[in-house]
Amino acid sequence: MFNKNCHKLDKKIKNIALKNFYKALDFFEKVGYASVKSNKKLSAILTLA
């Protein structure tokens, strides 16, 4: 019983982490595109990274 609950909790934590990760990724993408438009040097750095 306890093990089953742990698994559910683990799944929930993973989902929350994934959501936060995708939110951060989306945010960085927007910031990245804005920077790339204004700064070609930064776009070169981003493509190399």
Q: Domain segments of the chain: what residues?
A: 2-48
Report how far residue 39's alpha carbon sits from residue 33's, in angstroms, rounded to the nearest whole number.
10
Residue 13 region by backbone torsions, left for phi larger than 0, else alpha for psi between -120 and 50, else beta: alpha
Give the per-residue pLDDT at 34: 72
Give the per-residue pLDDT at 6: 64
**pTM value surpassing 0.75:** no
Per-residue pLDDT of the chain (49 residues; tens, 9 = 90+): 456 666 677 788 788 888 888 888 888 888 777 766 666 666 666 676 5
